[in-house]
């Protein structure tokens, strides 16, 4: 298991009263989903875990609370504002627009 899977497993065991659905396979599937959501962004582990708990509850048909929803929304804001890890893909930048002069005049 990866670091994300281990921490997600621990967080789910602490969060849920019924830990029967928390299996290595279900946690692995949820961790893969979190990695797809995060993509190439530098997102802190706590935000990844918050997303993972919410997505796990949805996949296991456990009704998320309002607190879960607000924590998930805050984590998704962090994902959207996170910078890219890949230096080839700039997430932000600036564009300079100038009027070119005609070389024929």
Q: What is the pTM of this model?
A: 0.78
- Find all residues with CB under 8 Å of 45, minimum gap 6, and list them: 3, 4, 7
Q: pLDDT tens for residues 13-37?
A: 999 999 999 999 999 999 999 999 9
For residue 84, what pLDDT band results from cuts at 50, 70 and 90? confident
For residue 100, what pLDDT band results from cuts at 50, 70 and 90? low
Query: What percent of the chain is predicted at pLDDT more than 70?
Result: 83
Q: How far is CA 43 from the centre of its chain?
A: 7
Q: Using the predicted structure, report yes or no on whether residue 105 has a pLDDT greater than 90.
A: no
The average confidence (pLDDT) of the chain is: 88
């Amino acid at each position: 298991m990866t670091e994300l899977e281990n921490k997600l497993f621990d967080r789910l065991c602490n969060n849920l009263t019924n830990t029967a659905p928390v299996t290595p396979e279900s946690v692995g599937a949820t961790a893969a989903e979190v990695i797809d959501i995060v993509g190439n962004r530098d997102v802190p582990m706590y935000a990844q875990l918050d997303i993972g708990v919410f997505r796990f509850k949805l996949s296991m048909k456990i009704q998320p609370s309002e607190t879960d929803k607000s924590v998930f929304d805050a984590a998704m804001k962090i994902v959207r504002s996170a910078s890219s890890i890949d230096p080839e893909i700039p997430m932000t930048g600036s564009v300079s627009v100038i009027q070119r002069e005609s070389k024929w005049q």
